[in-house]
Structure 1
Amino acid sequence: MSQIVAQLRSLQGELPEAQRALAAFILTDPAAAAARTILELSEAAGVSTGSITRLSRTLGLAGYSQLRLALAADQGARDARSTWREDIGAEIGEHDSVEQVAAAVAATVAGVVTRTVEGLDLAAVEVAARRIAGAGRTELFGVGGSATMAAEFQQRLYRIGLPIWSWSDTHVALTGAALLGRGDVALVLSHGGGTREAREVLAEAASRGATTIAVTNDPDSPLAEHAELVLLTCVRATGLRAEAVLARHAQMAVLDVLYVAVAQRGYARTTAAMAATVEAVRPYRSQD
């Protein structure tokens, strides 16, 4: 609770009638009150300008101008705290030590990865792995953070010899989806599952007869509803903000399980490709 607002609440019952009514009016929306001139506040609250001045002095302020500044400053502090909670979370404070931050991050990430893997539809993973391992072409698509995860997955599967592409540009992704056919795969990542671009790329691939796979956090999202196979993450907005921090860990956990399952289904090809790629880059690795 902000300082001036807390002070108003604590004094409200002890104030004279006019000042009590004014305090109640201010407390309903401190930011709106701070935006008014003394005349505007007088008319809106139905009290005299003298009552406003007297309330300001009761609060230890010289006059209404200082009260406005105090209310505005409190609003700014509330906005900052709200922004922090939305982006970082309530479990990590501004003055927490690095050790406390590290412990909170570790616990939160471990929790979301564990919940995601435990909740995975393993039958869907089996089918997805088999389709990708045998696909003539696999197209991946994601926007924002999901694009980063798609690119990481593409690099891993490319290394074991699979024909796979990853796109973050919608036009290019739609072009690729339009060239798919039966025996091909489109895998689309979208945390919320409501991104229009993700939905349209998936729909285009489906219209061409390709297997469609959605990696999303919402089983009832438009993306999930239109996918043949759905691999769900399990992210809850606790501690660190889900969209900003946790979604990528959950998505990578799903993709890690899927990657190993795909690699298993082409074991001979996988091991041969791994050996060849390791040898190709050996001269560029430091010799310890």
Structure 2
Amino acid sequence: MDQIVDRIRSLEASLPEAQRALAVFILDDPAAASARTILELSEAVGVSTGSITRLCRTLGLAGYSQLRLALAAEKGAREARDAQGTWRDDIGSGIDEHDPIERVAAAVARSVAGVVARTAEDLDPAVLEVAAGRIATARRIELFGVGGSATMATEFQQRLYRIGLPVWSWSDTHVALTGAAVLGRGDVALVLSHSGGTREAREVLAEAASRGATTIAVTNDPESPVAAQAELTLATCVRASGLRAEAVLARHAQMTVLDVLYIAVAQRTYARTTEAMAATQEAVRPYRARPQEEVPGG
């Protein structure tokens, strides 16, 4: 009874009129057809129950009950395949739904550690030097990303802002293009695009470049359109593994690049950075948890 729908489809054109009408009805929605009794199917298609029985025999089945079972079984198998495909697309093939949490934790740790190490090892020191120097002296810094890259851009913006740099982060394309349009020489536009094919990121870089700003791309594909549009490219190193790269690993690779870049910028602005760090720590100190002995009633 395997692939009953394929068998019906292959025979459809050669079937007598009544059986062909049944075949068309079943192929349109096999699950709905399998849920009907023989009388319900007969009324829905406008054929006799005898025509249904004859179609079953043409398919090599003893009767309608076998056809219903075959359609239901194929529906279940298809749903299972779809579920597995969805799981692999989002989670990956290295972890299944029955794995204990210890195995899940170990798999995530291995994958993250691997992508962080590869990305750090493959970073071009010369490009990092130039990028850090341009950011450290920029009059204005514009960051842009969409989706998961937007989250990383916001994180980077908060870190640079904390050490006194004039930096903005956008995920809205119109706002990002507006920001890029007011850049000039000595300014920086940095975009994050894991695939390197994001049209919006490419357009933001193009606008910034047309104004004379330094353009930097953080991408997993140094040969991508986004990388080609940038003056400087900082490449992540994410390869497919047991975990789905884009869903789990891209943000860790991007954060590795941004962490290294942040520290390199802080080194080049040491005096200003340490002063800003002290000021910001003092500003938020009253809102941090106090030692237990200072807490009223503690």
Is TM > 0.5 for Structure 1 vs Structure 2? yes
User: Where do 1:1-288 residues align within 5 Å?
Assistant: 5=2, 35=30, 49-54=56-61, 62-288=65-291
Q: How many Å apart are 1:286 and its aligned residue?
A: 1.2
Q: In the alignment, residue 242 of structure 1 is paired with which amino acid?
A: A
Q: In the alignment, residue 130 of structure 1 is paired with which amino acid?
A: G
- State the 4+ residue runs in structure 1 displaced beyond 6 angstroms: 31-34
Verify the 8 A CA contact 1:184 1:210 in the aligned structure 2: yes
Q: Relative to structure 2, which stretch is displaced further, 78-87 or 275-284?
A: 275-284
Q: How many Å apart are 1:166 and its aligned residue?
A: 0.6
Q: How many Å apart are 1:193 and its aligned residue?
A: 1.1
Verify the 8 A CA contact 1:125 1:231 in the aligned structure 2: yes
Structure 1 Cα separation of the partners of residues 252 and 130 of structure 2: 23
Structure 2 Cα separation of the partners of residues 168 and 124 of structure 1: 25
RMSD: 2.8
Q: In the alignment, residue 219 of structure 1 is paired with which amino acid?
A: P
Verify the 8 A CA contact 1:34 1:72 in the aligned structure 2: no
Verify the 8 A CA contact 1:53 1:63 in the aligned structure 2: no
Query: Deviations for 1:236-270, whole angstroms, at most 9, x for unmatched residues?
Result: 12122111111111100000000000000011111
Q: How many Å apart are 1:62 and its aligned residue?
A: 4.1
Structure 2 Cα separation of the partners of residues 68 and 82 of structure 1: 21
Structure 2 Cα separation of the partners of residues 157 and 63 of structure 1: 68
Query: Deviations for 1:156-196, whole angstroms, at most 9, x for unmatched residues?
Result: 01111111111111111111100000000000001111111
Structure 2 Cα separation of the partners of residues 66 and 162 of structure 1: 68
Structure 2 Cα separation of the partners of residues 160 and 277 of structure 1: 8
Q: Structure 1 stretches of 5 or more lacking a match?
A: 9-18, 39-46
Q: In the alignment, residue 107 of structure 2 is paired with which amino acid?
A: A
| CA distance 1:206–1:95, shift in 2 (3 Å) | same
| CA distance 1:175–1:169, shift in 2 (3 Å) | same
Q: How many Å apart are 1:121 and its aligned residue?
A: 1.2
Structure 2 Cα separation of the partners of residues 239 and 162 of structure 1: 39
TM-score for both structures, normalised by structure 2:
0.80
Verify the 8 A CA contact 1:184 1:211 in the aligned structure 2: yes
- Look up the SS of the partner of 1:67 in the other structure: helix
Q: In the alignment, residue 125 of structure 1 is paired with which amino acid?
A: L
What is the count of residue pairs matched by the alignment? 258
Q: In the alignment, residue 167 of structure 1 is paired with which amino acid?
A: W
Structure 2 Cα separation of the partners of residues 142 and 231 of structure 1: 15
How many percent identity over aligned positions? 68
Verify the 8 A CA contact 2:238 2:245 in the aligned structure 1: yes
Q: Structure 2 stretches of 5 or more lacking a match?
A: 12-25, 35-53, 292-298
Structure 2 Cα separation of the partners of residues 22 and 266 of structure 1: 72
Query: Deviations for 1:26-84, whole angstroms, at most 9, x for unmatched residues?
Result: 9xxxx97984989xxxxxxxx96414243x78xxx941111011111100100000100
- Look up the SS of the partner of 1:139 in the other structure: strand
TM-score for both structures, normalised by structure 1:
0.82
Q: In the alignment, residue 171 of structure 1 is paired with which amino acid?
A: H
Q: In the alignment, residue 50 of structure 1 is paired with which amino acid?
A: R
Verify the 8 A CA contact 2:193 2:201 in the aligned structure 1: yes
Which of 1 and 2 has greater Rg? 2
- Look up the SS of the partner of 1:63 in the other structure: helix
Verify the 8 A CA contact 2:217 2:232 in the aligned structure 1: yes
